[in-house]
């Protein structure tokens, strides 16, 4: 369906001081795709994301969400379609309780109280935290905050989910839970991340940004095997694609180990 398409055409953006933020970025994401946005710090990932819901206005170029080119008039409609989850959950949880936060969106959309209640509980159950309903946000753990932040966006039933560094500062278990959760979403997903392993798990397509320019756009696995590209863009391979953590074995290469031990199947023996 056309309203799930995200299209960016020759996007240019300059920061207030004059520095170039985006330098001619173009791509097209279709319904249901899962796209990772990767790049070094300062490459322009967050800047690009902020164009997708009209918070930043491009100096040149155009953004289309579904049928609508992004203009001041249809901002509200677009913001309902594009659900954005930010890096710091404390910025997104500003109401007295979890329920209030998740209900914020639906209430602003003008839904009736009964419907709001339904949406909120559904969203909380989807992310697995219905029991946190009456909790004030400062009493949540990092992982719980993350989940609730996602719920605040889900409650508005967006078509497109945009996330900025969703796995940052999560402990391994919470991170694994998050990846599992995101895998169940059928929305179009655009995820800016440094966590290349998560990108590998979650997204079949990857866009690489470097200094405001789009340097690659293609299947994730392919891109992550291009060591040249990764090095140029200030990245390296996902950890699970790097050599054996114990002996450093890459393919057939074998490095001698101290004390005549050997390594087989990622385990030290002998």
Partner 1 sequence: MTKIGNHFFDIGYMDTLASGDSPLHRLDPRVKLITTLAFIVTVVSFDKYALSELIPFFIFPIFQISLGGLPTGYLLRKVLMISPFAALIAIFNPLMDREILLQIGSISVSGGWVSFFSILTRFLLTVTAALLLIAATGFNTVCTALARLGVPRPFVVQLMFLYRYIFVLTDEASRMVRAISLRSFHSGGMSFKTFVPMMGHLLLRTLDRAQRIHLAMLCRGFDGRICIVRSMKIGYNEVVFAIGWSVLFVILRCYNIPKMLGALVIGFFG
* 209 CB-near residues (< 8 Å, 6+ apart): 25, 37, 38, 39, 43, 44, 45, 48, 215, 233
User: Which of 10, 113, 171, 236 touches partner 1 (CB under 8 A)?
Assistant: 113
Query: Minimum Å distance from CB 141 to partner 1?
Result: 14
246 sits near partner 1 (criterion: CB under 8 A): no
Query: Minimum Å distance from CB 133 to partner 1?
Result: 11
Q: What does the block give as tokens for 258?
A: 């101290």
Q: What does the block give as tokens for 209?
A: 């940004």
User: Which of 26, 30, 115, 139 touches partner 1 (CB under 8 A)?
Assistant: 139
Query: Minimum Å distance from CB 7 to partner 1?
Result: 20
> 223-244 burial string, b = 16+ CB within 10 Å, else e?
bbeeeebbeebebebbeeeeeb
91 sits near partner 1 (criterion: CB under 8 A): yes
21 sits near partner 1 (criterion: CB under 8 A): no
24 vs 136, beta carbon nearer partner 1: 136
117 vs 197, beta carbon nearer partner 1: 117
Residues that bind partner 1 (CB under 8 A): 50, 53, 55, 76, 79-80, 82-84, 86, 88, 90-92, 94-97, 100, 103-105, 107-109, 113, 116, 134, 136-139, 152-153, 156
């Amino acid at each position: 369906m056309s309203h799930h398409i995200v299209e960016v055409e020759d996007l240019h953006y300059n920061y207030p001081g004059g520095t170039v933020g985006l330098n001619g970025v173009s791509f097209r994401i279709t319904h249901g795709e899962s796209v990772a946005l990767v790049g070094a710090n300062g490459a322009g990932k967050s800047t690009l994301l902020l164009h997708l819901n009209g918070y930043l206005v491009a100096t040149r170029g155009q953004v289309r969400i579904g049928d609508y080119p992004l203009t001041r008039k249809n901002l509200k409609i677009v913001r309902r379609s594009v659900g954005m989850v930010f890096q710091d959950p404390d910025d997104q949880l500003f109401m007295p309780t979890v329920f209030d936060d998740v209900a914020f969106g639906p209430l602003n959309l003008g839904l009736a109280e009964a419907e709001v209640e339904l949406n909120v509980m559904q969203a909380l159950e989807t992310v697995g935290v219905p029991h946190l309903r009456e909790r004030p946000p400062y009493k949540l753990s990092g992982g719980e905050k993350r989940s609730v932040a996602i719920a605040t966006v889900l409650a508005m039933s967006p078509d497109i989910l945009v996330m900025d560094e969703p796995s940052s500062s999560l402990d391994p278990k919470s991170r694994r839970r998050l990846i599992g959760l995101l895998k169940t979403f059928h929305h179009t997903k655009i995820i800016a991340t440094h966590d290349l392993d998560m990108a590998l798990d979650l997204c079949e397509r990857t866009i690489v940004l470097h200094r405001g320019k789009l340097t690659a756009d293609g299947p994730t696995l392919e891109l992550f095997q291009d060591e040249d590209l990764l090095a140029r863009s200030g990245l390296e391979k996902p950890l699970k694609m790097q050599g054996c953590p114990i002996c450093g074995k890459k393919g057939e290469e074998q490095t001698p180990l101290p004390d005549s031990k050997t390594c087989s199947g990622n385990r030290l023996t002998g």
